[in-house]
Amino acid sequence: MAHRWKNDLTRADATPYAAFMNRRQLMGGALGLGLIGAAGAARAAEELVPNSWEDITQYNNYYEFGTRKDDPARNAHTLTTSPWTVKIDGLVDNPGDYSMAQILDAMTIEERIYRFRCVEAWSMVIPWNGFELADLLTMAGVQDGAKYVAFETALRPDEMPGVSYPVLDWPYVEGLRLDEAMHPLTMMATGIYGKTIPNQNGAPMRLVVPWKYGFKSIKSIVRITLTEDEPPTSWNKANAREYGFYSNVNPEVDHPRWSQASERLVGGGLFARRQPTLMFNGYADEVASLYEGMDLSKFI
Ligand SMILES: Nc1nc2c(c(=O)[nH]1)N[C@H]1C(S)=C(S)[C@@H](COP(=O)(O)O)O[C@H]1N2
Ligand SMILES: [Mo]
């Protein structure tokens, strides 16, 4: 793949984000090798240069297929992603089992180039294709009284070699506050670089919440439930001291075992320096208001 695209999204962009989000990404041609090596410099100039297809699809966390970074790429081909049904239930007007075809029919797919920051202190820039989660929730009809959205990944022991190990309490579950779920930055991804999303990245549909640590972006979703109470989340259940419900990217709040002040850009090259981690992963202008009045060192 020669996909190295440059976009016009800049953190310093003064355009209000509603307009900013609707603007189509300007796609340039493949950048020269020299520029690719300067991904860090490009970031300093506040341009997002997406990682390569190889970076994005061969360095993964998807523990249902193993815990090594190259396990998902080797093992996830066993996941049957078609047909696929997503149950939407709880506090919604139109609960039911929605087929992927039905969902895709109702949604408009667009491209969003987002920073992606894993809690392990590595990062990438990924050109996702997908739709706003808000559109799906609106289709389901969110009822008064709903305050949270719970998500669940498929649990298929026959297709997922990793779930025979008790690394996590399967199935993988995640959650968002309703206002986080309805935020225009929050998306359901069904593609990367204009191609169908590979299994190792969460086919056929996975969450993407760019201002939160990567583990909030739950893969291969089979159930979405609107609830009144804060739902349990896998990493919080595994270690509540290290992984909170919010898990907003925050360079000022370290993980108990490592600093979150900086990160390694995957694919940055042999001499790449760590780059500073940005508050809310660079999306503070868009999302900081969601957490007004909250002590972010407490609500981790
Ligand atoms: N079901 C499920 N979803 C998951 C994970 C997982 O192990 N299982 N890993 C999370 C973590 S820790 C990260 S960093 C991202 C990685 O997404 P990527 O492999 O597409 O980069 O997926 C998240 N979603
Ligand atoms: Mo992660």
CATH number of the domain residue 231 falls in: 3.90.420.10
Among the bound ligands, the one closest to the CA of 266? 1
The reply to whether 297 falls in a domain is: no
The reply to whether 80 falls in a domain is: yes
Whether the upstream peptide bond of residue 204 has omega within 30° of 0, thus cis, is yes
Place of tokens 């909170």: 244
The reported pLDDT for the residue numbered 12 is 37
Q: Do 152 and 173 touch, CB atoms closer than 8 A?
A: yes
> From CA 278, how far away is CA 294, in angstroms rounded?
19
Place of tokens 């202008």: 285
Distance 173 CA to ligand 2 centre (A): 14
> From CA 248, how far away is CA 267, in angstroms rounded?
24
The reply to whether 2 falls in a domain is: no
* Closest approach atom of ligand 1 to CA 200: 19
The reported pLDDT for the residue numbered 46 is 59
> From CA 2, how far away is CA 249, in angstroms rounded?
30
pTM: 0.87
The reply to whether 151 falls in a domain is: yes
* Closest approach atom of ligand 1 to CA 220: 1
With a 6 A CB cut-off, is 199 part of the ligand 1 pocket?
no
Among the bound ligands, the one closest to the CA of 61? 1
Q: Which of 217, 223, 255 to mutate to test the pocket of ligand 1 (most atoms within 8 A of CB)?
A: 217
The reply to whether 4 falls in a domain is: no
The reply to whether 295 falls in a domain is: no
Residue range of the domain that includes 198: 11-287
- According to DSSP, the β-strands at 275-276 and 221-227 are unpaired
Closest CA to 73 of 215, 199, 189: 199
The reply to whether 174 falls in a domain is: yes
The reported pLDDT for the residue numbered 98 is 98
Distance 135 CA to ligand 1 centre (A): 23
List per-residue pLDDT tens for the chain, 300 residues long: 333 333 444 433 333 333 333 333 333 333 333 343 444 444 544 578 999 999 999 999 999 999 999 999 999 999 999 999 999 999 999 999 999 999 999 999 999 999 999 999 999 999 999 999 999 999 999 999 999 999 999 999 999 999 999 999 999 999 999 999 999 999 999 999 999 999 999 999 999 999 999 999 999 999 999 999 999 999 999 999 999 999 999 999 999 999 999 999 999 888 888 999 999 999 999 999 999 999 999 999
Structure tokens at 125: 């820039």
The reported pLDDT for the residue numbered 35 is 42
Summarize pLDDT for 253-277 with one digit per residue, the tens: 999 999 999 999 999 888 888 999 9
The reported pLDDT for the residue numbered 4 is 37
Query: Which residue(s) pair with 221 in the sheet?
Result: 153
Query: Total structural domains in the chain?
Result: 1
The reply to whether 173 falls in a domain is: yes
